[in-house]
Amino acid sequence: MAARVAAYAGSFDPVTLGHEDIVRRGAKLFDRLIVGIGINPDKHPLFAADERQTLMRQVFADLPNVSVECFSGLTVDFAREAEASVMLRGVRTVSDIEAEFTMALANHSLAPELETVFLMAADRYSHISSTLIKQIAQMGREASRDQLKQFVPAAVIEPLMTKVQRPLSGTC
């Protein structure tokens, strides 16, 4: 029987405990899981794509059936190149479902051979987003190191704090 390959694409800027949970659960469901870090020229990410890739490779080093690649262009093209039959997505909220549903329909018309499979976020991670984490790191400074443990894998904390460190400025 052909191997079941899934592609899990996103920005992962940076990877969170929510993403990690989806990858670990996905790795049990599929023979191979290929994480795709999307390079979007219109976005200004905190971490360069190769930095995100290095971090994710560290986080998933213990999972032999997970690989991490970067891609630009359409997710369906990335999935096809990876020879995936499934696109894996995580959903946190009802509003996520709305957006994901539209995207799944668009992807289905672009690539009818690909199925989108959704995993519900674990309730303890359903409030976590990369945007929230960047805000906590930026606002909280030193105190945020400890708080960040609840949101991101340990390997992400120091690189994240280094990225956001800048001198306090302004008087009001």
Instruction: Please give the residue ranges that form the binding site for ligand ADP (CB under 6 A).
Output: 10-12, 16, 18-19, 22, 89-92, 96, 121, 125, 128-130
Residue type, 99: A
Question: If phi over 0 gives left and psi between -120 and 50 gives alpha, with beta otherwise, what is residue 119?
Answer: beta
Q: Which is nearer to ligand ADP, 44 or 166 (CB)?
A: 44
Q: In the complex, what is the shortest distance from the CB of residue 18 to ligand ADP, in angstroms, rounded to a whole number?
A: 2
Tally of CB atoms within 10 A around 107: 19
Shortest distance, position 170 Cβ to ligand ADP, whole Å: 30
Active site residues: 19, 43, 92, 130
CB of 19 to ligand ADP, least distance (A): 5
Strand runs labelled E in the chain: 5-10, 32-39, 66-72, 86-91, 115-120
Nearest to ligand ADP of 12, 30 (CB atom): 12
Give every CB contact of residue 104 below 8 A, 6+ residues apart in sequence: 87, 89, 116
C-beta nearest to ligand ADP: residue: 18
Q: Residue 73 carries which DSSP code?
A: S
Which residue, 45 or 85, has its beta carbon nearer to ligand ADP?
45
